[in-house]
A and B are shown apart, each in its own frame.
Chain A
Amino acid sequence: MTLLVPDVGEVIALKAFLNNTAGQDQTLKLFATNVTPAETDTAGTYTEAAGGGYTSKSLAGASWSFTAGAPSHADFAQQTWTFTGALTTNATVFGYYVVQASSGTLLWAEQFTSFTPANNGDQILLTPKITAD
């Protein structure tokens, strides 16, 4: 699957680009419903994982690195979720989504190969990256 910036995320990008509204730090979350990101999505589209030692991750704007090129891209350090066992509400993780830390507005989302944490010590490793092309 491919990363998708929905319409609500596009508006935030444009507003920050044009100095209309300042950007915010981000929160990286895993979603636990079997959905494919769509352009009309909002944060409410996704059901966040819960239980099993899961917590969302904070992504500070100042910690991104930026590279000009074709395409230009922004990269963040690898994020690691280490589970203590099974999730509680929905057992399987199907992807991740990123929201603004304060407003909670959806920025982007991506489905990945599903993973069902079951064991103490199971991990998901994700290196956030986004391109502009």
Chain B
Amino acid sequence: MLNWFKKNKGTDGTPRVHVVTPVHISKEAKEVIKSQSLRPGMWVRTRSGIGILVDARSDGNLDIMLTDGMGNNIRPVVAPKHEVGQALYSQIPIARRPPDRDYLHAMGYI
């Protein structure tokens, strides 16, 4: 039976509150990433595919978000640092690739 008086709210009818607290990468994680000649936010290649380097763990493993051909998220993976390298220019999804090729080459995306 249709319920014409049903409100368009959550299961309990109460508005929800989503609290966001900015998270900054730790100095230790930065050091782990830097030791591999990598950078936070860098486009990287892994055995699982192309993604973006997000963070590093104390054991040296790296947190990476794998992306699809449009640069959208697929899934996060944790990869050993020796399996991660900077992506090639051609591996950066076109939709996320800046038009200035010289800039990208200077950033190491060859």
Contact = CB atoms under 8 A, between A and B. Distances in A.
Given A38-B43, A38-B96, A1 B54 contact: yes
B20 A96 contact: yes
Contact of B8 (A113, A119, A123): A119
Question: Interface size class for chain B?
Answer: 35 or more
Given A1-B54, A130-B22, A121 B71 contact: no
A124 interface: yes
Mostly helix, strand, loop or mixed at chain B's interface? loop
A57 interface: no
A115 B18 contact: yes
B52 interface: yes
B38 to A, nearest CB: 11
Given A2-B24, A2-B54, A38-B96, A123 B40 contact: no
Interface residues of A, number: 39
A39 interface: yes
Closest A-B pairs by Cβ, 8 of them: A121-B15, A39-B41, A36-B65, A115-B18, A119-B9, A126-B20, A2-B25, A4-B41
Interface of B: 8-10, 15-25, 27, 30, 39-43, 51-52, 54-55, 65, 67, 71-73, 92, 96-98, 103-104, 107
